[in-house]
């Protein structure tokens, strides 16, 4: 026979469940509030998920000084709680995916950790190839390989040629039916988000961007 709601055991279970649900709801709202205060920043290689990264990063600038390409910047005051945390602007200077990832090696706070990830096919990779800062995304309305009202489509593979993993993370797909030019295609499972394609893109405004990883 089912117990009545006002019986002690079930009432206790009910409020315990309610408290768990409420705690989860509050935690989600706090994370959204904290990570949403600043712009979506492209973090250096090996960065933890955003909320944990903001908690662990002490703004010591060691990763900034360790970068041989001076690609790591410090977030401005407009970034809210993310102020002074490290980020990259690939249109200015991309990440060159150093073999030893010195920015990670210099992070004593473990906000940046040696990257290891499992791809969709089950392959485990580590180091530069396992970096996942974000995912490149092509903008067809700006990419010169697409025809628009003010230009004819023309071949371009600059982004692919500058990609550290060409024909894997980024490739030119064969022309679709009725087209004469193929377009760049990103494999999100392999793309590291380094931004080398963004840096090299000849289009203005830039026709490819990196969307930062969120979580």
Domains of the chain: total: 1
Domain that holds residue 190: 50-212
Does residue 150 form part of some domain?
A: yes
Does residue 57 form part of some domain?
A: yes
pLDDT, tens digit, 9 for 90 and up, residues 52-97: 999 999 999 999 999 999 999 999 999 988 999 999 999 999 999 9
Does residue 22 form part of some domain?
A: no
pLDDT of residue 87: 97
Does residue 123 form part of some domain?
A: yes
Does residue 115 form part of some domain?
A: yes
pLDDT of residue 146: 95
pLDDT confidence bin for 25, thresholds 50/70/90: very low
Does residue 14 form part of some domain?
A: no
Does residue 152 form part of some domain?
A: yes
H or E element, residue 13: helix 8-35
pLDDT, tens digit, 9 for 90 and up, residues 28-57: 444 454 445 445 899 999 999 999 999 999
CB count in 10 Å sphere of residue 102 = 16
Does residue 24 form part of some domain?
A: no
Rounded Cα distance between 46 and 43, Å, is 8
More confident residue, 3 or 103: 103
- The number of residues in the chain equals 215
């Amino acid at each position: 026979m089912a117990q009545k709601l006002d019986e002690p055991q079930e009432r206790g279970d009910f409020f315990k469940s309610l408290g768990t649900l409420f705690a989860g709801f509050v935690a989600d709202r706090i994370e959204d509030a904290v990570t949403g205060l600043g712009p979506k920043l492209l973090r250096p290689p090996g960065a933890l998920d955003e909320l944990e990264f903001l908690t662990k990063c002490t703004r010591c600038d060691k990763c900034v000084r360790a970068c041989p390409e001076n690609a790591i910047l410090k977030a401005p005051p407009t970034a809210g709680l993310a102020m002074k945390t490290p980020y990259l602007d690939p249109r200015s200077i991309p990440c060159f995916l150093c073999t030893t990832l010195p920015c990670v090696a210099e992070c004593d706070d473990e906000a940046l950790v040696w990257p290891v990830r499992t791809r969709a096919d089950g392959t485990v990779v580590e180091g530069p190839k396992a970096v996942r800062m974000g995912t490149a995304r092509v903008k067809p309305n700006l990419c010169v390989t697409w025809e628009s009202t003010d230009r004819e489509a023309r071949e371009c593979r600059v982004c692919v040629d500058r990609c550290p993993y060409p024909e894997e993370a980024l490739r030119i797909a064969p022309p679709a039916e009725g087209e004469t030019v193929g377009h760049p295609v990103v494999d999100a499972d392999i793309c590291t988000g380094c931004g080398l394609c963004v840096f090299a893109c000849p289009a203005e405004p830039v026709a490819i961007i990196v969307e930062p990883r969120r979580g």
